[in-house]
Amino acid sequence: MEYNPREIEQKWKKWWADHQVYKVSNDSSKPKYYVLDMFPYPSGAGLHVGHPLGYIGSDIFARYKRQQGYNVLHPMGYDAFGLPAEQYAIQTGVHPAKSTAANIARYREQLDKIGFSFDWSREVQTSDPSYYKWTQWIFLQLFDHWYCNDSKTAHPIKGLVEVFELEGNARVKAATTQEIVFTAAQWAAMTPKEQDDVLMNYRLAYRKTTYVWWCEDLGTVLANDEVKDGVSERGGYPVERKPMLQWSLRITAYADRLLSDLDTVDFSDAMKKMQGNWIGKSQGAQMRFRIADYGLRIGEAAQEPELEIFTTRPDTIFGATFMVIAPEHDLVKQITTPEQAVEIADYLAYVNTRSERDRMSETKKCPAHSQALML
């Protein structure tokens, strides 16, 4: 009998769709299994070879687990936010919603042709308000909470305000960057702006100034992997390191809980180790070093500034021969001598175009000590 793939595949794909073969019910007596793929970003006119390369492997595994009697959840979605869609809209005049919808339709057609066993009733599009409203909800929960070091739990910021109104912040055991201790009377005397600034030092989602990659031509901040050799990966526009007010998460507050909760999830040891490294908790000591002869070198009797460091091996400090500070450090301008001003300015301009990856991989030689220094 002659095998006609076009006819046979169309027949069975239609049967699968009509009978919802891969639709998964939450109400099942079978043991659960979750097979999740990385969602493709619909930035082009179709899939590239890397998409099915990964999806075929996970699809085989999903089918294997079904045959073992598991209730397998195998969804698919689209990571549909990002710079490419915005730039495509600027260049062509096509609204991102239209171009993204067209690309998604094409991706879905191609995925169906391959015959993957996705449960399309679970389809996710990150640009859909019904999806990203939950991201916004999570952010608001973090913004409206502070972390108590005693209970190891988050509490509403409203309750913290009530404590400040009654007794100030002296007895609050919180994960915070607030350094000034104030009384209830001092809190009441603050302006709304000053109070907001204080609360920002307690919130789990807070604003702070950090150095980011800014691309003037694209009009946006770029991630490290979107920058190569001092220009944007998309368009080749110049970028610069620029201090800007950004939203951050106070992950260090609940790092211990993140680490301990890894024991409760069914991940491989390799995955747990990778997650632990990402959380990045380390134990050590903070130490301060004075800048010797600072006042003499700048021609005035100024108080010597201190360089604060963190080290996991304070016992090795006595063997240190030199110290290196980041180009963005506040002390750079403060301790640079007039004789070195031009050289330092040129170096800062160079470093300002290098990505984090470049700065970690490149080394420079210290003329005085012939030591390799990281940028």
> Which pLDDT score, from 0 to 100, does residue 361 have?
66
Compute how many other C-beta atoms are within 10 angstroms of the C-beta atom of residue 341. Answer: 11
DSSP letters for 158-189? HHHHHHHHHH-STT--B---------HHHHHH
Report the pLDDT value the prediction gives residue 220, as an integer from 0 to 100: 85
Higher pLDDT, 205 or 228: 205
The answer to whether 140 and 218 are in contact (CB under 8 A) is: no
- In this predicted structure, the answer to whether residue 175 has a pLDDT above a threshold of 70 is yes
pLDDT at res. 370: 40
Q: What percent of the chain has pLDDT over 70?
A: 92
User: Residue 42 is which amino acid?
Assistant: P
> What's the CA gap between 29 and 61, in Å, rounded?
21
| Those residues with Cβ within 8 angstroms of residue 148's Cβ, 6 or more apart along the chain or in another chain | 154, 155, 173, 174
SS3 (DSSP) at 296? helix
The helix/strand/coil state of 149 is: coil
- The residue with greater pLDDT, 324 or 172, is 172
At residue 133 the predicted structure's pLDDT band, cuts being 50, 70 and 90, is very high
Residue 355's pLDDT is 66
Task: Tell me how far the alpha carbon of residue 175 is from its chain's centroid.
Answer: 20
Tell me: the pLDDT tens digits for 247-287?
999 998 999 999 999 999 988 999 999 999 989 888 899 99
Lowest mean pLDDT across 40-54, 149-163, 253-267, 284-298: 284-298
H helices of the chain, where? 5-18, 50-67, 83-92, 96-114, 129-143, 157-167, 184-189, 192-200, 255-261, 269-279, 294-297, 331-335, 341-351, 356-361
Is there a contact between 332 and 340 (Cβ–Cβ < 8 Å)? no
3-class secondary-structure state, position 151? coil
3-state SS, residue 96: helix
Q: From residue 264, how far is each of 164, 267, 272 by CA, in Å?
A: 37, 9, 11
Q: Which residues of 108-117 are buried (b: 16+ CB within 10 A; e: fewer)?
A: beebeeeebb
For residue 366, pLDDT beyond 60: no
Among 192-196, 231-235, 297-301, top mean pLDDT goes to 192-196
Q: Number of H helices and number of E strands within the chain?
A: 14, 15
Phi, psi for residue 342 in degrees, rounded to 5: -65, -45
Q: Please count the other Cβ atoms lying within 10 Å of the Cβ belonging to residue 176.
A: 21
Domain ranges within the chain, ordered by starting residue: 5-127, 141-254, 282-320
Residue type, 66: R
Average pLDDT of the residues in 83-89: 76
Q: Which CATH superfamily is domain 5-127 in?
A: HUPs (3.40.50.620)
Position 373 confidence tier, pLDDT thresholds 50, 70, 90: very low
The full length of the chain comes to 375
CB atoms within 10 A of CB 200: 16
- Which amino acid, 88? Y
Q: Which residues contact 308 (CB under 8 A, 6 or more apart)?
A: 286, 287, 288
Higher-pLDDT residue of 226 and 30 is 30
Least confident interval from 31-40, 141-150, 325-334: 325-334
Mean pLDDT lowest for which of 12-21, 139-148, 348-357? Answer: 348-357
Token readout for 278 is: 């990402």
Q: Out of 49-53, 118-122, 226-230, pick the least confident.
A: 226-230
Tell me the angle at which helices 192-200 and 157-167 cross, rounded to the nearest 10 degrees. 120
Lowest mean pLDDT among 149-153, 159-163, 279-283: 279-283
Q: How confident is the model at residue 159 (pLDDT cuts 50, 70, 90)?
A: very high
User: What is 16-39 written as a DSSP string?
Assistant: HHHTTTT---S--SSPEEE--PPP
Q: Among 24, 210, 240, which residue's Cα sits nearest to residue 123?
A: 24
Is the pLDDT assigned to residue 163 strictly greater than 70? yes
Asked if 153 contacts 138 with a C-beta cutoff of 8 angstroms, the reply is: no
Is residue 31 pLDDT above 80, yes or no? yes
Task: Give pLDDT, residue 301.
Answer: 53
**Span 302-315, pLDDT tens digits:** 567 888 889 999 99
Q: What radius of gyration, in Å, describes the C-alpha atoms of the chain?
A: 28
| pLDDT at residue 181, rounded to an integer | 97
**What rounded mean pLDDT belongs to the chain?**
88
